């Protein structure tokens, strides 16, 4: 079962704005890009063409791991607006 299939089991109420943001100038200097593999929802993907981070914030499970893991301390992390984001039924 791949991550997209896993995420398809979840219910979300999508926030209109992203609750996650980065400064791509800092990301460009980052070698390890830890966020692209430790995130349990595969929210982050590096796009070589645009030289920027794709952030699929609508898939976020709000665990907070990316903010702690980022070696450049470059992830601005807050909760989605009230009532938005993921909704676990069987947590």
**Residues of the shown chain interacting with another protein in the complex, contacts defined by CB under 8 A:** 1, 3, 6-7, 9-10, 13, 32, 34, 37-38, 40-42, 61-65, 67-69, 73, 77-79, 81-83, 85-91
In terms of DSSP bridges, do strands 11-13 and 85-87 run parallel, antiparallel, or are they unpaired? antiparallel
- Helix (H) or strand (E) segment spanning residue 66: helix 65-69
Cα gap 78→18, rounded to integer Å: 9
Residue closer to another protein by CB (options 26, 34) is: 34
Phi, psi angles (nearest 5°) of residue 28:
-60, -30
Minimum separation from the CB atom of position 41 to another protein (A) = 7
Residue closer to another protein by CB (options 8, 49) is: 8
């Amino acid at each position: 079962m791949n991550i997209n299939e896993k995420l398809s089991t979840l219910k979300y109420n999508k926030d209109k704005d992203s609750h996650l943001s980065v400064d791509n100038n800092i990301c460009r200097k980052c070698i390890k890009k830890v966020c692209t593999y430790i995130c349990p929802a595969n929210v982050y993907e590096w796009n070589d063409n645009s030289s920027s981070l794709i952030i699929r914030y609508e898939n976020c499970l709000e665990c907070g791991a990316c903010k702690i893991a980022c070696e450049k301390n470059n992830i601005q992390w807050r909760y989605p607006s009230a009532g938005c984001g993921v909704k676990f039924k069987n947590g």
